[in-house]
Structure 1
Amino acid sequence: MQPIKDSSTAPLTATVRRSDDLLHPIVAALISVIVNYGGTFILVLQGAKSAGLSPQLTASWIWSISIGVGVTGAWLSYRYREPIITAWSTPGAAFLISVLPNTPYPEVIGAYMLSALGFVVLGLSGYFERVVKMIPSGIAAGLLAGILLRFGMGAFGGAGVDPLLVGALILSYAVLRRFTARYAIIGVLVIAIMLLLGLGQVSFQSVALSLAAPVLTTPAFSLNAVFSVALPLFLITLTGQYMPGMLVLRNDGFKTSANPILTVTGLGSLLMAPFGSHAFNVAAITAAICTGKEAHENPARRYIAGLACGVFYTLVGVFGTTLVTLFVVLPATFITTLAGLALLGAIGGSLATALGDPRGRETALMTFLATAADVTLFGLGGAFWGLLVGLVVHGLIHGSFRCSRCG
């Protein structure tokens, strides 16, 4: 005799499953946005301060870059059903701190537009995608592991500043991983917020929402700005953001070509440049939070994280400096610990891939170490030099830069 099935619970089970499908990628997106604004956006604010921009122009910069990142990331994720997370150029923002005081702002805007146009042309040409395909998977994984290493170390490094908060979050993560690995990072986020509120380290009472107002600046063009701003910004963003960002996607099995990503983000940057946006691109570090299995066990559902990121970024952009200030004042130890714990899976996975092939283990390890050293030369950061070291050593040892993925 067959047991009688209780069909009355089926709709409830389906609802729970659908909610679960949405919860994990949305929380991954929220953590990604918190880490981005709380960890690197201070560079944008420092750049605005060094340039002597008015509060209105600073708010316009925040509006343009947040809206641009939100719209392009959400559209690309929806169009290709992959978690294509976009972000502003962090190394580009760091570079601008030193050049903005010496360049007239209209010429800076013109340089932003020329740099963005360069990405559109590169995307339409298809050459960048060919370069990405030539990189062996072990070197790509070693590069990613090297980029993420300092964030993993940051999860523990903050203990010297705030041992109570960091210790509580790490212990909470360990306990939650034992009983419910799927909800561990969600639980850590909730516990962290409760601790911050309980310890009085953060307060939402002073946040008064006000809409941001974009300010249009008429661009000007000069040869000096082309060589001192546009060209360095293009190269720094290409090597420091686009290359590792594409390798993050490839490392987690996503195959969207770099061509439309370059073209769409380039067009978005071009349209937003007159309002102050310096450059946005495919994300690398914060993207890894959304592209791995921690965001969702089913890769086909991870694109929801890209949509959620788009919504969060757009929301911040609409309210401009009021919401950004809230992220910036979050304790640094909270940001670094949360980021490190959220990226543990990505770090472990990339290291396993990098060291999994005995034949390419040495070159992958050298790529990892060179990238983790984070040496900056000629304005180019650790990601570029780590990749260069890996490719050169691979070519000298194995006599070829081709890989099995290239066909």
Structure 2
Amino acid sequence: MGGSDVAAIETPAYPKNIWPAVVAGILTAFVGYASSFTVVLQGLQAVGATPGQATSGLIAVGTAMGFAAIVLALRYRMPISIAWSTPGAALLASTGAVAGGFEAACGAFIACGVMIVIAGLWKPFGKLVSSIPAVLANAMLAGVLFGLCIAPFHAIAQIPDLALPVVLAWAVMARLKRLYAVPVAVLVAVIALIISGVPDFSVRGSFWPQVELVTPSFSWNAIFGIGLPLFLVTMASQNIPGLAVLRAFDYHPPASPLFVSTGIASLLSVPFGGYTVNLAAITAALCAAPEAHPDPSKRYIAAVVAGTVYVAFGAFAGVAASFISVSPPILIQAVAGLALLGAFGSAMSGALQNPSEREAAVITFVATASGMSIGGIGSAFWGLVAGGFVMALHRWRKAA
């Protein structure tokens, strides 16, 4: 075999056309936005945001994750995808309003962003977070998601004429092409609402994207009830899996700068009502897989395009928020629940995989799903505390 043949084998002739990466980036942004923007708006309003503040927050967090994706993908020439924390938004929806209102919630968002930055800069802190048992983190996440995941069934009972077509469309599309199931469900929900004549858009000006400044306030109740659980959920269900997805496709970016960058992007979005951005987990595979481009060195283009489209979607945030504000809340919760069923299944599987730790995981799940609040601190924190106590007691008894 000649030298030229060896060179041809070692350096494959990849096509120079970047169109597949562009298409993959557009698809990533569409799926990421359409499948979970309802969860984000639901979560922000649940912790006290007005419709205007929720819209502003959607614009801010979408812009933050878009620019973060563009910067990181160009910096490392890797398909590093950024997303908002969908499980984090579900956490907000299940936690509800806190003392101090949305301003206190924004203070908790700042605390979460600072902790993400510290996790990237200070290795002992990052190791401490990583030492939290995965079964407890998964059980807490499952408890957070549970309330929204049962919403589709409540919606079928309350408004079957609207909810049933949405759920059926999701189920059929999930069987054919799961990636498009939630966007199709969103589209069917919009069509069903228009046909039924439910929307009554009396304020056309709300269609235009507008940002509102929020002055954060700080309280220990909000920090422990929202900030700390939001940080743990973001790290356990987004950042760490996001790195794993990249490594599965043979991309090995340094973790520390990624955490610091997403933490800073999160902090920059908070004054406008935004919350947490992080590494994408599910949609990351769309940019990193061979379908995005046969040449691994060109797949970063998909992440850049996705970030650009995320920023552009900010112009439609007003329309999305206006439509949701005049729609039946239970229907919006149902669509959000459908978007989170996969995450719920993965979390439950991870929580119950070890029989010796199953009891602690169940305690964590039940306590978190209960929605209890003690001292103004939400159930996600107390679920983790209860499960951790049971696990420590079991390990102590076993050692004794």
Superposition TM-score, scaled by structure 1 size: 0.67
C-alpha distance in structure 2 between counterparts of 1:299 and 1:381, whole Å: 42
Is 1:42 the equivalent of 2:45?
yes
Residue of structure 1 in register with 2:83 after alignment: 85
Is 1:201 the equivalent of 2:198?
yes
Residue of structure 2 in register with 1:3 after alignment: none
Aligned length: 361
Cα deviation, residue 194, structure 1: 2.2
Is 1:358 the equivalent of 2:355?
yes
Cα deviation, residue 375, structure 1: 1.7
C-alpha distance in structure 1 between counterparts of 2:79 and 2:147, whole Å: 30
1:15-26 equivalences under 5 Å are 21=24, 25-26=28-29
User: 2:235 corresponds to which letter in structure 1?
Assistant: M
Cα deviation, residue 29, structure 1: 0.9
8 Å contact from structure 2 (residues 26, 305) kept in 1: no
User: 2:321 corresponds to which letter in structure 1?
Assistant: V
Is 1:379 the equivalent of 2:376?
yes
Distance 1:135 1:264, change over 3 A: same
User: 1:174 corresponds to which letter in structure 2?
Assistant: A
User: 2:67 corresponds to which letter in structure 1?
Assistant: V
8 Å contact from structure 1 (residues 240, 380) kept in 2: no
1:7-22 equivalences under 5 Å are 21=24
Which of 142, 146, 157 is equivalent to 1:145? Answer: 142
8 Å contact from structure 1 (residues 158, 337) kept in 2: yes
C-alpha distance in structure 1 between counterparts of 2:50 and 2:190, whole Å: 30
Distance 1:304 1:263, change over 3 A: same
Is 1:329 the equivalent of 2:332?
no
C-alpha distance in structure 2 between counterparts of 1:111 and 1:361, whole Å: 31
Residue of structure 2 in register with 1:240 after alignment: 229
User: 1:67 corresponds to which letter in structure 2?
Assistant: T
8 Å contact from structure 1 (residues 140, 251) kept in 2: no
Residue of structure 1 in register with 2:346 after alignment: 349
Distance 1:127 1:141, change over 3 A: same
Residue of structure 2 in register with 1:267 after alignment: 264
Structure 2 unmatched runs, 5+: 1-16, 248-252, 293-298
Q: Which secondary structure does the structure 2 equivalent of 1:85 belong to?
A: strand
Distance 1:331 1:15, change over 3 A: farther
C-alpha distance in structure 1 between counterparts of 2:65 and 2:376, whole Å: 24
Cα deviation, residue 278, structure 1: 5.4
Q: Which secondary structure does the structure 2 equivalent of 1:379 belong to?
A: coil
Cα deviation, residue 337, structure 1: 1.6
Is 1:165 the equivalent of 2:162?
yes
* % identical aligned pairs: 25
1:87-102 equivalences under 5 Å are 98-99=99-100
8 Å contact from structure 1 (residues 169, 191) kept in 2: yes
8 Å contact from structure 2 (residues 38, 332) kept in 1: yes
Cα deviation, residue 244, structure 1: 0.9
C-alpha distance in structure 1 between counterparts of 2:21 and 2:356, whole Å: 43
Q: Which secondary structure does the structure 2 equivalent of 1:359 belong to?
A: helix
Distance 1:172 1:297, change over 3 A: farther
C-alpha distance in structure 2 between counterparts of 1:282 and 1:318, whole Å: 19
C-alpha distance in structure 1 between counterparts of 2:260 and 2:24, whole Å: 30
C-alpha distance in structure 1 between counterparts of 2:102 and 2:176, whole Å: 53
How big is each residue's C-alpha offset from its partner over 1:151-187, in whole Å with a ceiling of 9 and x where there is no partner? 1111111223311111222233333444554543343
C-alpha distance in structure 2 between counterparts of 1:174 and 1:96, whole Å: 33
User: 2:352 corresponds to which letter in structure 1?
Assistant: L
C-alpha distance in structure 2 between counterparts of 1:375 and 1:180, whole Å: 38
Distance 1:124 1:332, change over 3 A: same
Distance 1:110 1:43, change over 3 A: closer
8 Å contact from structure 1 (residues 269, 277) kept in 2: no
1:286-305 equivalences under 5 Å are 290=283
8 Å contact from structure 2 (residues 225, 377) kept in 1: yes
C-alpha distance in structure 1 between counterparts of 2:229 and 2:116, whole Å: 14
Q: Which secondary structure does the structure 1 equivalent of 2:276 belong to?
A: strand
Q: Which secondary structure does the structure 2 equivalent of 1:30 belong to?
A: helix
How big is each residue's C-alpha offset from its partner over 1:199-238, in whole Å with a ceiling of 9 and x where there is no partner? 22337796455464777x9x8xxxxx9xx62655544443
Q: Which is further off, 362-371 or 193-202?
A: 193-202
Distance 1:257 1:376, change over 3 A: farther
C-alpha distance in structure 1 between counterparts of 2:115 and 2:391, whole Å: 30
Distance 1:87 1:17, change over 3 A: closer
Distance 1:144 1:204, change over 3 A: same
Distance 1:304 1:202, change over 3 A: farther
Residue of structure 2 in register with 1:4 after alignment: none
Cα deviation, residue 117, structure 1: 5.8
Distance 1:62 1:192, change over 3 A: closer
User: 1:393 corresponds to which letter in structure 2?
Assistant: V
